Chains A and B, each alone.
Chain A
């Protein structure tokens, strides 16, 4: 990376806003109070219909304000990148907040590891003034910091990313521009999980990821955010996951394709099962709609249709069928008494 990272590189902060006028001021201010310089602040308004424009106008020429017709988070970040001049790009969603030292810490890490593809900071989940969770890390990253402590973790994470996403929010990441010039911009055809798809591409191109242990951003919990109601979020993300992996399979090295197909089969089975039982507990109509969408989206109808049929039948039929099936199953496998064996034979 020779594009100016030698001496205090220019950082472009790219803030995207979509109807978040309640939070926009706090988000933009958290960028402006960063103690790192030189920095430019680009705010992309993704076609908001609320007071976002007026709030941004209040910041005058301290920010570059861009507005586009609503096109989604990925497209908004791309618009920001096209106007950004920095060698390092940091992203912020309009309802999140950076802590003052966030950019400084990431720039130090980027200069120490010029080969890094992504520099991630930890954060907290919050609602109003209450911290709901002290870390955004989970899975292997959380385990690493729990087991080894330390201030940073540097890792190649393509295999891990194929098993599931690792980074909670795009507001945590800083990415050198040269990385985008290798793997391409944010995918605009994926609505919710475009960050996951980008991380797969960056990791797949062989760039190591740097995770910093310090919690330097605040992730706002909003009941009706982009991802929809919180309890259904895993299902919404699940459907988007198919788009992610399909988009990824189209551009990935062909030798990874078998692995990706296997991941998609597992995912289809587990989503179908979980959606069916969620429907039984909460709302059957929802689970029917969801399973129908999953049948189409997964392109593996044979794995989903049995659950869809079960969700369509009256509950007592399903109950009866499962009892009959489980009895004959028990009969076949118990195996020790002569009668059971005869019944099966």
Chain B
């Protein structure tokens, strides 16, 4: 049985080196057959040199594949295409897995008879986080973090917690053969913050009746740079997530429409706008407002696509 660890990367050679360093120091049994696949998503920096350095040093095979189309989903799919493993593990380039990560993920996959597993993602802050951020576990979700310390099975529709993020997950190839790979219309592209590609995949896995497990023993640390400790980042994140959700997910919003949008959308945007006006400094309300705005923009784009398709 072979395991392929896939890392999509874009212009972050320094962080990638850190991820690879942690990977080559994984504590796994010598009988385990595994490899590392780096999906170079249009990097113009030092990335190829960093990868070849590790390819020389590492005791496991390290390969790289170039993916010109921008987007984390394209990059992950490119890695899946060249990976030779029956089990595929994913981390991002800003993730540093604990030495026990690979063993813990395999263990969860085997022992639970799961098809897809994920785990704890704790922050590694670049600078001391402000109080409004560090004291608020809710905001962890927007940073791609997950601190929950109990093992759980996931269900659809998703509960608030635990969630599994693309920064740390492991899935069987047979599962991907059944439900398909990452949706390329979702997922972070360059500096944009479109999200939801991993939720979309997990939704399909669950809807196929397969088992998805969150296990806190699968531990990684996620680099949180200074710019993600600002409120602006959270607005953009929520907007991007809502836009992706409205564009792709779920059934078409019901209800009578006016000027191209369902009426309830105007109502909830207005309601959140008024609540925000009442307390403009509340991050919670800012987030709620940008959520509604993102839904509206995403829905608008979806309507456009559907119109051009029917024409």
User: Is the C-beta of B18 less than 8 angstroms from some C-beta in chain A?
Assistant: yes
* Contact in complex: A85, B25 (CB < 8 Å): yes
Q: Interface size bucket, B side?
A: 20 to 34
* Contact in complex: A184, B125 (CB < 8 Å): yes
* 8 pairs, A vs B, C-beta closer than 8 Å: A2-B149, A4-B98, A4-B99, A85-B25, A181-B123, A184-B128, A185-B126, A252-B131
List, in ascending order, chain A residues with CB within 8 A of B256's CB: none
* Residue from the list A82, A85, A177, A201 in contact with B128, Cβ < 8 A: A201
* Contact in complex: B217, A250 (CB < 8 Å): no
List, in ascending order, chain A residues with CB within 8 A of B135's CB: 253
List, in ascending order, chain A residues with CB within 8 A of B127's CB: 184-185, 187-188
User: Is the C-beta of A3 less than 8 angstroms from some C-beta in chain B?
Assistant: yes
* Contact in complex: A2, B128 (CB < 8 Å): no
Min CB distance, A153 to chain B, in Å? 27
Question: Please, which residue of chain B has its CB at the minimum distance from the CB of A205?
Answer: B134
Known contacts: A85-B25, A251-B128. The answer to whether A183 contacts B219 by CB under 8 A is no
Tally of contact residues, A, Cβ under 8 A: 26
User: Is the C-beta of B21 less than 8 angstroms from some C-beta in chain A?
Assistant: yes
User: Is the C-beta of B255 less than 8 angstroms from some C-beta in chain A?
Assistant: no
* Residue from the list A10, A178, A185, A251 in contact with B122, Cβ < 8 A: A178
Q: Looking at A185, A201, A251, which has the most chain B CB atoms within 10 Å of its CB?
A: A251
* Residue from the list A3, A183, A247 in contact with B98, Cβ < 8 A: A3
List, in ascending order, chain A residues with CB within 8 A of B129's CB: 183-184, 251
List, in ascending order, chain B residues with CB within 8 A of A254's CB: 131
Question: Please, which residue of chain A has its CB at the minimum distance from the CB of B135?
Answer: A253
Known contacts: A83-B21, A253-B135. The answer to whether A3 contacts B219 by CB under 8 A is yes
User: Is the C-beta of B241 less than 8 angstroms from some C-beta in chain A?
Assistant: no
User: Is the C-beta of A182 less than 8 angstroms from some C-beta in chain B?
Assistant: yes
Known contacts: A4-B100, A10-B99, A83-B21. The answer to whether A181 contacts B124 by CB under 8 A is yes
* Contact in complex: B128, A183 (CB < 8 Å): yes
Fill in one digit per residue for B107-140: 1 if any A CB lies within 8 Å of its CB, else 0: 0000000000000001111111111001100000
Interface residues of B in 214-233 (CB under 8 A from A): 216-217, 219, 221
Known contacts: A2-B149, A2-B219, A184-B125. The answer to whether A85 contacts B131 by CB under 8 A is no
Complex CA distance for A201 and B129, rounded to whole angstroms: 10
